[in-house]
Amino acid sequence: MSSELIMTSVDSDQEAKVVVSGEIDIYTARQFKEKLYQFVDNSTKDIVIDCSDLDYIDSTGLGIFVGALKKARLTDRNISLENIRDNIRKLFNITGLDKLFIIR
């Protein structure tokens, strides 16, 4: 019911992984942006974002993914997205962002 957003992250020797669950919209976006950008800046590895429990994302949220990717690319890294639900996958297709990210 409530559109809270939870982001947890692990930056170990093996991987740099972010798990997002809940809803990324104009309300939760600012907090998410800060956390994600910080994670990208602090890590040195390719980044995996697990979207299994991401219920909803709007254009603000997609813009943040793009912003994070641009940051990662500055140091020759990539961002891949995992377990995206169909309704959200649709948004990546529509906007062409499916060609920007590694989606698996």
Partner 1 sequence: MESRDKIVVKLPCKPEYVSVARLTVSGVASRIGFDIDTVEDIKVAVSEVCSRIISVAGSSEKQYEIWFDISAKKLTISFSAKIERINCIFEDDEDGLGAAIINAFMDEVEYCPEGKDYILSMTKNFEVISCNGL
Ligand X SMILES: Nc1ncnc2c1ncn2[C@@H]1O[C@H](COP(=O)(O)OP(=O)(O)O)[C@@H](O)[C@H]1O
List residues binding ligand X (CB under 6 A). 59, 63, 66, 95-97, 100
| CA-based end-to-end distance of the chain | 28
74 binds partner 1 (CB under 8 A): no
Closer CB to ligand X, 97 or 103, in the complex: 97
2 binds partner 1 (CB under 8 A): yes
Residue 87's binding partner out of ligand X, partner 1, none, with CB under 5 to 8 Å set by partner kind: partner 1
3-state secondary structure of 44: coil
Positions 10 through 29 that interact with partner 1 (CB under 8 A): 23, 25-27, 29
Strand order in the sheet with 47-57: 5-11, 16-24, 47-57, 79-82, 102-103
